[in-house]
Chains A and B, each alone.
Chain A
Amino acid sequence: MSLKDNIYYADDYIKEILFTTKSIAIVGLSDKENRPSSFAAKYLKNRGYKIIPVNPVTDKKTILGEKVYKSISELEFIPDMVDLFVKKEKILSFVKEAIKIKTKTIWLQLGLIDKESEKIANSANINFIMNRCPKIEYAKFSGELGWAGVNSNVISNKRKLLKND
C-alpha cells in the first residue's frame, strides 16, 4: 500500500479532477460503516460530493442514505467519477463498464494498480488515477492531512480554506 510506487500524478491534474467532479459512483462501497470504503465515502459526501453506491452483493436499499445500484450499467445518470474499491481480478471489467458509460474520471483505490486499464482509459480520453484515494488526495490539498501529522509533500504560500467552511 505504500505510495512509493513510482507513479506520479501532477498536483494540478489531481486538483482539477477533485474540483470539477460533482458525483462519484463508488464500486464496492461497503454497507459496514467501519470499512475503509465507508470512511472514504462519508468524508467525500461531507465535502459536498454526490456519492452513488454500487454494490452487487448487499441487500441494503441504501448506503449512507444513498440509493444502492447493483452495477455500473444500471446507473440512471452518468457520474463524473467511477471509484473502484474492488478485487484486483475485477478491475478491468469494471473499467470497461465505466468507459462504456463515458464517465470523466476512473479512479482505482489504494492497492489497485492496472496498466491495461490505464491504457484503455487513456485512449478513451478518460482521466485515470490508480493506487490513490480521493479522500487522502482531497485532504492533502486542503491541508487536513497535515493535521494528522501526515506528510502531504505540499508547499504553498497561499491561505487554505476548506470547501465546506
Chain B
Amino acid sequence: MTKKKNSYGFATRAIHSGAAPEPITGARNTPIFQTTSYVFKNTEHAERLFKLEDFGFIYSRLTNPTVSVLEERLANLENSRAAVACSSGHASQQLAFTSLLGNNDHFIASNKLYGGSINQFNKTFRNFGWECSFVDPDNVKNFENEIKDNTKLIFIETLSNPDGSIVDIEAVAKIAKKYHIPLVVDNTLATPFLHNPANWGANIITHSLTKFICGNGTSMGGIVIDCGNFNFLKDNKYPGLSQPDQSYNNIRFSETFGDFGFAMKVKADTLRDLGCTLSPQNAFYILNGIETLNLRMKKHSDNALIVAKYLQNHSKVSSVSYAGLKNNKYYNLGKKYFPYGVGSIFTIKLKNGYNACVSMVEKANLLSHVANVGDTRSLIIHPASTTHSQLSDDEKIKAGAGPDVIRLSIGLEDVEDIILDIDNSIN
C-alpha cells in the first residue's frame, strides 16, 4: 500500500503550511498567542512535557503556538524536517553553532559573508573557544584543505552579501559529506523561493527572517532549520546529539527524535539556555510576510536585473557585481542554483572611489540609507564605512566591500523610479 504523495506548490505552502483554523474559535488567520505560559492539564501532563515525552507548550522561551506555525512553515518551504525560530539571524547562528561545537572545536567558513557574521565568528565565537578558518569559496578545494580532526561544521552563504556572489553548494556539500561534517548554510539573501539548500546537500539552514522573509522591514527574527539528513549517531563527534542529556532523563536527542533530533536539541537545550526567543508578535508579522514571498522575490529579482543592466552601461560606474548579468563570473552558478532569479542585492563600483560613494548615498532621495537589506523599499549603503567598517582593509576587499563599493538592495517600487533616483544621486 505504497502510494505517491501529492505535494502542494510553493505559493500554496507559503500561505498554508503549519497553519490551520484555530480549533476552539475557528479563527482562520494564525492568532497571536501573546502569553508567556500555558496551563497544564494535571501534574502528570506537566511531567510528560518536561521530560519531552509529549508535545505541548510549557513556557514561551521554548515554544509558543504562533512561533510554531512560523517554524513549521519555513521547515516546509525549505524541504526540511523541522525548525527553531529565534530573535534574529545572528541568534540563529549562535544557536546552531552552540548545538554543534564544544570548547576547542574548529569550523570553516566562506570569507564571503555578511560583515556581521565575520565579526561574530572572528571575535565572539573565538571567546567561546571556537576557532574559525575563513576560506575563499570560489575554489571549493579550499574547504577541504582546512579540514582538521576537530572541524565540526562548514558554513557558507548561498548567495552572499554584499556582492551577490554564489557558492557552488553542491560541490561543498560533497566535501562536507565525505568528512561527515554538517554543512550549515545561511540562505537569507536567497530565501527558500529562489533556492533550497537542502536539495543540494545542506544539512542545516539558518536565516535572518529580518530581511526578505518578513519583507516589510518591521521585525527582527531568525531561524535554524534541521534538514533531517545528517546522521549524528554515526560517531561521537557531536556528543550533544549522540550522548545522554542529563537535563532530560538521559535521552539522546538524535536517537529519541530521529530526523528532527537536531531541531529538538536546539530548542530544548540551546534555546532554553541561551534565551534568544522570537516574540509571538514578530512571528505574526513574519508569517504575514511569507504569504507573498514568491511574488515578492520574483519581482525583487526582476527589478534588480533591470537596474543592474542599466548600471552596467553607466558612465560613472566601473563595474556591477550581479550574478544575473551574463558577464558575471557567477552567472552559470546562478543559472544552475537560482532558476527564478538571483535576488536583489548587489554591488557597484564607482569610478571616482570613496568620495563618490559617500556623495551618492547622501544625494539619494528615494533609496533609503539603512543598514539593512531585503526590504520592500530600495536601500543603499556604503559598506566600507558602515556594515563592514570593523573589518581590516584587506578583509573588506576580500568580502567585496572595498572603498569604491556601493551596495544596493533593490525593492518593489516602480523600477523607472528606482533608476531615476540612482541616476540623480550618482551624478
Chain A contact residues, CB within 8 Å of chain B: 1-4, 7-10, 13, 33-34, 36, 39, 42-43, 46, 110-111, 122, 127-128, 133, 139, 143-153, 155-161
Contacts and interface: CB of A to CB of B under 8 A. Distances in A.
A163 to B, nearest CB: 12
A159 B23 CA distance: 5
B263 A150 contact: yes
Contact of B259 (A2, A42, A159): A2
A147 B249 contact: no
B259 A146 contact: no
Contact of A148 (B7, B23, B264): B264
Given A34-B250, A149-B82, A159-B26, A144 B72 contact: no
Nearest to B266: A149
Contacts, number: 125
Contacts of A111: 258
Given A9-B3, A155-B16, A2 B260 contact: no
B256 interface: yes
B55 A147 contact: yes
B416 interface: no
Nearest to A153: B76
Q: Is the interface of A mostly helix, strand, loop or mixed?
A: loop
Given A148-B260, A151-B72, A151-B76, A4 B8 contact: no
Contact of B20 (A9, A139, A143): A143
Pairs A-B, 3 closest by C-beta atoms: A149-B71, A144-B55, A151-B75
Interface of B: 1-5, 7-8, 12-13, 16-18, 20-23, 26, 48, 52-57, 63, 65, 68-69, 71-72, 75-76, 80-85, 228-229, 231, 244, 248-251, 255-256, 258-260, 263-264, 267
Given A34-B251, A147-B57, A148-B267, 19 more contacts: A7-B2, A8-B4, A8-B5, A13-B3, A34-B249, A36-B255, A43-B54, A143-B20, A144-B55, A145-B55, A148-B55, A149-B68, A149-B71, A151-B17, A151-B76, A151-B81, A152-B18, A153-B7, A156-B20
Contact of B8 (A13, A143, A155): A155
Contacts of B80: 151
A61 B244 CA distance: 27
Nearest to A152: B72
Contacts of A153: 5, 7, 76
Nearest to A138: B55
Contacts of A156: 20
Nearest to A110: B258
Contacts of B17: 151, 155
